[in-house]
Amino acid sequence: MSKLKIFLGILLILIIIGFVVKNPLLQSVADFLIADETAEKSDALIVLGGEIKGERTKRAVELYNQGFAGTLIFSDGTDLSWRTKAVDEMIVLASELGIPDTAIKKETDSRSTYENAVYSKKLMLDNGFKSAIIVTTDWHSKRSKFIFDKVFAGSDIKLTYANAPDDRIDSLRDWWQDSEKQQIVLTEWAKFIIYWLKY
């Protein structure tokens, strides 16, 4: 058998294998971004800003109503205008969903996931809280867990995690076939790599 035929045979086999494993490999790229939920009863729920349709706040309210924690800490210092912060909109939604003002605390200095962790840790320590559930969108959960675990290391504060669905999409299944899902997955991967290199 000539070398050309051997080469073409190997190439054909590789192409067939590529077609067979392509989708599972691509799906694993998105699945990596989602951390397992580990939520346990805690002192507080730390709700990270950056939500699009209130999905993180709604998930935190759900957990509060289920008795997972008695305090919600909303963490987001982003300015929406000269007089309104994103965290204020989160608190308004939580109040509309029945959360009493006495159960709400807010952190208004953070501008990133890393700063969410740093300033939430300070608020936790100032209030004597010993445990918290970090609530964020599912595709943001692996990066959040990575950074919160690092920032809270050595603090004796126990962290667990809960994921909120992204209301814009049904899931990250077949993300490579949908432009909005592509943007979510590729952007989050870029941020994860930057966080991994920086922190």
Domains and CATH numbers, the chain: 33-166+175-198 (3.40.50.620)
Q: Where are the alpha helices (DSSP H) in 67-178?
A: 86-96, 113-126, 141-152
The per-residue pLDDT for 34 is 96
- What is the C-alpha separation between 114 and 161, in angstroms, rounded? 16
Query: What radius of gyration, in Å, describes the C-alpha atoms of the chain?
Result: 21
* Full-model pTM: 0.88
The set of residues, in sequence order, having a beta carbon less than 8 Å from that of 2 and lying 6+ positions away, is: none
Rounded distance, CA 102 to CA 100, Å?
5
Residue 163 three-state SS? strand
Tens-place pLDDT, residues 68-112: 999 999 999 988 888 888 999 999 999 999 999 999 999 999 999
Query: How do residues 110-140 score in pLDDT, each as one tens digit?
Result: 999 999 999 999 999 999 999 999 999 999 9
Bridge partner list, 135: 47, 162
